[in-house]
Amino acid sequence: MVKFRRFIYVCIIVIGCGSIHPITTVEHTDLTEGTDGQRINVFPAPVVESVGWRNLSSAAVDDVDEEFQIAIYSDRKPFHLFRISNSKKNPGGSVLFWPFDGSSDSAVPEENMREYLSTICEEFERVGPYEYCLPKFNSNNNWENTYNNLIQRNIWTMPDGSAFESSTTNPDDGELWGMVFQVRKGMYFRTFSHENPDLYNGTSEALDVLSVAAQLRLIANNFVPPINYNTYAGVTNGLRGSEFIPCGVNETWRFDANLTELMTKKGMPTVTQQQDQLLFQVKVSGVLRDEWYSNRRTTGFTKIITPNEVSEVRVVSDTSCVTQ
The one-letter amino acid code at 191 reads T
Q: What is the pLDDT of residues 18-41, one digit of tens each?
A: 579 999 999 999 999 999 999 999
Q: Hey, is 151 helix, strand or coil?
A: helix
What are 93's strand-pairing partners? 83
Phi, psi (deg, nearest 5) at residue 143: -65, -35
Confidence label for 2 from pLDDT (cuts 50, 70 and 90): very low
For the segment 244-258, the average pLDDT, to the nearest whole number, is 92
Contact indicator for 51, 95 with CB cutoff of 8 Å: yes
Side-chain-facing half-sphere of 236: CA atoms under 13 Å: 31
Average pLDDT, the chain: 87
Mean pLDDT within 275-285? 87
Say whether pLDDT at 69 is over 60: yes
pTM for the model stands at 0.81
Q: Is the pLDDT of residue 103 over 70?
A: no
Check pLDDT > 50 for residue 12. no
Q: How far apart are CA 23 and CA 295, in angstroms?
A: 31
Task: Check residue 174 and give its pLDDT.
Answer: 64
Closest of 215, 84, 48 to residue 39, by C-alpha: 48
DSSP of 87-146 = -SSS-EEEEEEEE-SSGGG-SSTTT-HHHHTTTTEEEEEEETTEEEEEE-BSS---HHHH
Rama region for 102: left / alpha / beta (φ>0; ψ in -120 to 50; rest): left
State the pLDDT at residue 267.
87
Question: Treating both helix axes as pointing N-terminal to C-terminal, what angle do 143-152 and 204-220 enclose, rounded to 10 degrees?
Answer: 170
Q: pLDDT above 90 covers what percent of the chain?
A: 65
pLDDT band, very low/low/confident/very high, at 169 (cuts 50, 70, 90)? low
Is the Cα dihedral 104, 108, 109, 110 positive or negative? Answer: negative
State the pLDDT confidence band at 101, using cuts at 50, 70 and 90.
confident
Confidence at residue 163, expressed as pLDDT on a 0 to 100 scale: 92
Residue 109: which pLDDT band, with cuts at 50, 70 and 90?
low
3-state SS assignment for residue 166? strand
| Predicted pLDDT at 273 | 62
Tell me how far apart the alpha carbons of residues 234 and 280 are, in angstroms, rounded to a whole number.
8
Lowest mean pLDDT among 144-158, 215-229, 231-245: 215-229
Which pLDDT score is estimated for 18? Answer: 52
pLDDT beyond 60 at 13: no
pLDDT at residue 108 tops 90: no
Instruction: Indicate if the pLDDT at residue 1 is higher than 50.
Output: no
The rounded distance, in Å, linking the Cα atoms of 9 and 283 is: 78
Task: Give strand pairing partners of 229.
Answer: none
Mean pLDDT of 154-179: 82
Q: Rounded to whole angstroms, how far apart are CA atoms 61 and 67?
A: 12
In this predicted model, what pLDDT tens digit does every residue of 205-227 receive, in sequence order?
999 999 999 999 999 999 998 77
Q: Closest Cα partner for 146 from 211, 56, 102, 233?
A: 211
Task: Give the separation between CA 57 and CA 77, rounded to whole angstroms.
Answer: 26
CA dihedral 173, 220, 44, 178 (to 10 degrees): -20
